[in-house]
Amino acid sequence: MPGLKKIIIAIDGPAASGKSTTAKAVARALGYLHMDSGAMYRAMGLKALQAGIDPLDAVRIRPLIGVTSIKLQPSDGFNVVFLDNIDVTNQIRTPAVSNAASVVSSIPEVRVFMVNEQRALGATGGIVMDGRDIGTVVFPNAELKVFMIADPRERARRRQKELAEKGIKIDEDVLVAELLERDNRDSTRSASPLRKADDAVVLDTTALTIQQQVDAIVLRAMERMK
Ligand code: DC
């Protein structure tokens, strides 16, 4: 939009709180790029699994960092994810990879690698990035920071629907337990834990439609772009 500043919009929050879907639609509405930082940790988790390395084994994961290429390529509203130049966009969405991503993301060296890549992606502004530490660590000066939350059962239902569309059937209670375990790990790790930035706007999406979530963020973004 001519005459308006190209800002950075940081969207953080717990697992399955609707961050990526919302971030993607906000980016489309503003003509911005959407970058899903979680997809990068997922690619790293997949790499560990493919190499037969326990994601908890930091000693064996650290050497992987220097020999791994992870790229997000925006394509028609979603991110194509390349791990060592192979498209792993669908492979990284399984529950096993969700868990591996959460575990490898607590390794400080993995985070440094990701944060450097993410900062480079946002260098020119005009970006919506979602994750866990975007407003606190990756872009502490982002013009707009949103912290999205939602009731765990509602989050599990959304995740269940998303997985069903990919042919994966999982019980709702199992998903609630997995989400809470992942949230707990993501928020209690010592390296850049999931935390609301002091200046982030909290958006509880439990009872909101995607359109309402998007409108709420776009409205605030337009104010900050002036
Ligand atoms: O957003 P997601 O569920 O796709 O993220 C997968 C995991 O990656 C999540 O459990 C924690 C980690 N992650 C992170 O530590 N920091 C980010 N900025 C994004 C994701």
- Whether residue 75 is predicted with pLDDT greater than 90 in this model: the reply is no
Q: Is 104 exposed, middle or buried (0-12, 13-18, 19+ CB in 10 A)?
A: buried
- Whether residue 2 is predicted with pLDDT greater than 70 in this model: the reply is no
Average pLDDT, the chain: 94
pLDDT value at residue 195: 94
Average pLDDT for 143-165: 95
Alpha carbon dihedral 129, 133, 135, 136, in 10-degree steps, equals -160
Give the closest residue (by CA) to ligand 1 atom 3: 15
Confidence of residue 136 (pLDDT cuts 50, 70, 90): very high
Contact 70, 43 (CB under 8 A): yes
Is there an atom of ligand 1 within 6 Å of 133 CB? yes
Is there an atom of ligand 1 within 6 Å of 118 CB? no
pLDDT tens for each residue of 76-115: 778 899 999 999 999 999 989 999 999 999 999 999 999 9
pLDDT value at residue 3: 79
Give the closest residue (by CA) to ligand 1 atom 7: 102
pLDDT value at residue 35: 95
Instruction: Report which ligand 1 atom has the smallest distance to the Cα of 192.
Output: 15
Is there an atom of ligand 1 within 6 Å of 111 CB? no
Residue with more model confidence, 124 or 201: 201
- Whether residue 59 is predicted with pLDDT greater than 90 in this model: the reply is yes
The DSSP call for residue 71 is: E
Residue 218 Cα, ligand 1 centroid: separation in angstroms? 23
Percentage of residues in the chain with pLDDT exceeding 90?
Answer: 89
Is there an atom of ligand 1 within 6 Å of 178 CB? no
- Whether residue 164 is predicted with pLDDT greater than 80 in this model: the reply is yes
Give the closest residue (by CA) to ligand 1 atom 10: 102
Residue 2 Cα, ligand 1 centroid: separation in angstroms? 33
pTM of the model: 0.95
pLDDT tens for each residue of 179-219: 999 999 999 999 999 999 999 999 999 999 999 999 999 99
Structural domains of the chain sorted by starting position, each given as residue range(s) with its CATH number in brackets: 8-211 (3.40.50.300)
pLDDT value at residue 4: 87
- Whether residue 26 is predicted with pLDDT greater than 80 in this model: the reply is yes
Average pLDDT for 105-126: 94
Instruction: Report which ligand 1 atom has the smallest distance to the Cα of 98.
Output: 6
Residue 38 Cα, ligand 1 centroid: separation in angstroms? 4
- Whether residue 1 is predicted with pLDDT greater than 80 in this model: the reply is no
Token digits of residue 126 = 């005009």
Instruction: Report which ligand 1 atom has the smallest distance to the Cα of 102.
Output: 10
- Whether residue 48 is predicted with pLDDT greater than 80 in this model: the reply is yes
Give the closest residue (by CA) to ligand 1 atom 12: 102
In Å, how far are 24, 166, 216 from 36, measured between CA atoms?
A: 9, 19, 20
Other Cβ atoms closer than 10 A to 212? 13
The DSSP call for residue 137 is: I
